[in-house]
């Protein structure tokens, strides 16, 4: 028959091994969840940035088209003013003043569109950084694997404590009578 101290120590060792295996499995599961979560966060960030880039490119193309339309309108108005001025007999500085005004308006409009394009580039960069920060905030940290040496020492200490709790005191034998020392009168 097994001694109670040996059984207690064995149970403590089995319990310690089980704790280590459970901690290892929990760490593996957490890290697998972290990997999935981190991939989803990165994919969401990439998708948002791609959609932002598409929208920015569309807006830039619209602004570029507006600039071309403004240039054509500026040329049309200038040519029309020259033709009407020639028909009316207007020439010289008066005609130059009128055509220069049309040119000035067209160039100012194109400069405004250029400024809007610069703003769009800056806005896109800022929003991309925001999406990057948002994705970083969603990342899950991975856990370190449990330390086998720590668990072994802890299990050893627990087993030793369990063994000592059930072991017979030093010098006691299995056949020796148990004496209640509280009933013995002190020797004076």
Q: What is the mean pLDDT of residues 91-110?
A: 80
For 31, the enclosing helix (H) or strand (E) is helix 4-88
Tell me whether residue 175 is in a domain: no
Tell me whether residue 151 is in a domain: no
Tell me whether residue 185 is in a domain: no
pLDDT tens digits along 40-87: 999 999 999 999 999 999 999 998 898 888 888 888 888 888 788 777
Domain count, the chain: 1
Tell me whether residue 23 is in a domain: yes
Tell me whether residue 60 is in a domain: yes
Tell me whether residue 100 is in a domain: yes
What's the domain range around 59? 4-146
Cα gap 116→110, rounded to integer Å: 10
- The pLDDT assigned to 71 comes to 86
Q: Say if residues 102 and 73 touch (Cβ distance below 8 Å).
A: no
- The pLDDT assigned to 26 comes to 93
Cα gap 137→130, rounded to integer Å: 11
What mean pLDDT value characterizes the chain? 83
Tell me whether residue 19 is in a domain: yes
Residue 154 token pair: 């802890």
């Amino acid at each position: 028959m097994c001694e109670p101290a040996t059984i207690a120590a064995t149970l403590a060792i089995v319990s310690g091994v089980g704790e280590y295996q459970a901690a290892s499995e929990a760490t593996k599961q957490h890290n697998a969840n972290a990997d999935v979560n981190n991939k989803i966060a990165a994919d969401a960030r990439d998708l948002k940035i791609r959609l932002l880039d598409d929208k920015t490119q569309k807006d830039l193309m619209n602004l570029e088209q507006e600039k071309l339309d403004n240039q054509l309108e500026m040329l049309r108005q200038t040519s029309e003013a020259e033709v009407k001025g020639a028909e009316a007999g207007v020439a010289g500085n008066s005609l130059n003043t009128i055509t220069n005004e049309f040119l000035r308006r067209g160039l100012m409009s194109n400069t405004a569109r250029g400024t809007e394009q610069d703003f769009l580039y800056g806005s896109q960069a800022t929003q991309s950084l925001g999406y990057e920060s948002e994705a970083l905030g969603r990342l899950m940290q991975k856990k370190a694997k449990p330390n086998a040496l720590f668990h072994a020492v802890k299990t050893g200490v627990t087993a030793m404590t369990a063994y000592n709790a059930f072991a017979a005191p030093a010098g006691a034998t299995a056949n020796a009578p148990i004496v209640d020392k509280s009933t013995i009168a002190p020797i004076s």
